[in-house]
Structure 1
Amino acid sequence: MKIIPRRLEGVFEIRLTPLSDHRGQFMRLYDESIFASYGINRRWIQENQSVTIHKGTIRGLHFQYSPSTETKLVRVAAGAVLDVFVDLRKESPTFGEWDSIELSEDNRAMIYIPRGFAHGFCTLCDHCAVQYKVDSKFSPEEDSGICWNDPLVAVKWPTDTPILSDKDKNLPTLDMFLSQNKRLDSV
């Protein structure tokens, strides 16, 4: 397992190293002591899986308000996605900036996203399964997000015509969100 700090402070790429033989593979997906040595020790309380059928589907960009803010550890069990995370920490020098990583069953990469980020992904092929651990219980009352194609954030998605949920079609831009809502500092 190799842990690599990313450009946005607090985000880490995790490269898994499988052991292979004639039977197949074995991979350690999480090691508390290795994570702790990078200061990224969390108490994971929930693990989720989303399955997306069609290439070009975008899920996000989502986040939870306090007290339900989430740290996420994301990986792809099947298929491939472009995983995107946007810094919403008001005090951060990279506030409003985004980064991305391709996660796939082939590259065996994971991404650790701390609290204070909006998160989403776009499927790069049909039939993708994304798994993620979170350190806070999901709360529908604290659920929110920003628009996938916000021109100010300007994420470079691999599609201009994604498949979206009704919820994701109607999320506000970051500017709209900030003008209507003072709770961003509790993300």
Structure 2
Amino acid sequence: MTIEKTNIDGAYIIQNNYIEDERGYFLRLFCNDELKKHNLDFEIKQSSISYNNKKYTVRGMHYQTAPYGEIKVVRCIKGRVFDAIADIRKDSPTYGRHFTVELSEDNGKMIYIPPYAAHGFQTLEDNTIVCYFMGTSFVPDASSGFHWEDPFFNIDWPFKKNIIISEKDKNMHNFN
């Protein structure tokens, strides 16, 4: 497992290493001991799966408000997604920046998202599954977000037409 910094303070790409042979492969999905070596320590409080049956599906940009900020580790376990995080922490040196990465079942990458950073993704294939590990349980009253095309963050999403999005996400306001 390798861990590299992104352009967002406290966010990292985690690259899992496949061990392959004639049977297939073995992949460690999560290892807190490896994260601790990089001063990234969090206890998994909740794990969730997001199944997306159609390409172009958008979920995000979501986060939990104080005091319920959650660390997330996100991995695509089937298909491919364009994954995005945005730094909304006003006291952060990277406030206002965003970071994007393709996560797929083939590349084995995960993204470590710090608390109070917003997260979203867009599916690049049908039948895509995204797995989340969270350091805080979901608190419905703390759930928040902003519009996925917010010009403040100017995320260059791969597809802007023919998207599939919930009414809630479609009607989100801009961050600023």
TM-score of the two chains, using structure 2 as the length reference = 0.97
- Please list every run of 5 or more consecutive structure 1 residues that lacks an aligned counterpart in the other structure: 176-187
What is the CA distance between 1:93 and its match in structure 2? 2.3
- Please list every run of 5 or more consecutive structure 2 residues that lacks an aligned counterpart in the other structure: none
Equivalent position amino acid for 1:137 in 2:
S
Residues 59-105 of structure 1 show CA distances to partners (whole Å, capped at 9, x for unaligned) of: 00000012321100000110000010000110112212111110000
Matches within 5 A, 1:1-187: 1-161=1-161, 162-175=163-176
Equivalent position amino acid for 1:135 in 2:
G
What is the CA distance between 1:138 and its match in structure 2? 0.4
Q: For 1:174, what is the secondary structure of its paired residue?
A: coil
| 19-28 or 45-54, which deviates more | 19-28
Q: For 2:36, what is the secondary structure of its paired residue?
A: helix
Residues 141-161 of structure 1 show CA distances to partners (whole Å, capped at 9, x for unaligned) of: 111101001112111001112
Identity %: 39
| 88-97 or 39-48, which deviates more | 88-97
Count of residues in Structure 1 that have an aligned counterpart in Structure 2: 175
What is the CA distance between 1:32 and its match in structure 2? 1.8
Q: For 2:34, what is the secondary structure of its paired residue?
A: helix
TM-score of the two chains, using structure 1 as the length reference = 0.91
Equivalent position amino acid for 2:53 in 1:
I
How many angstroms apart in 1 are the aligned matches of 2:32 and 2:116? 22
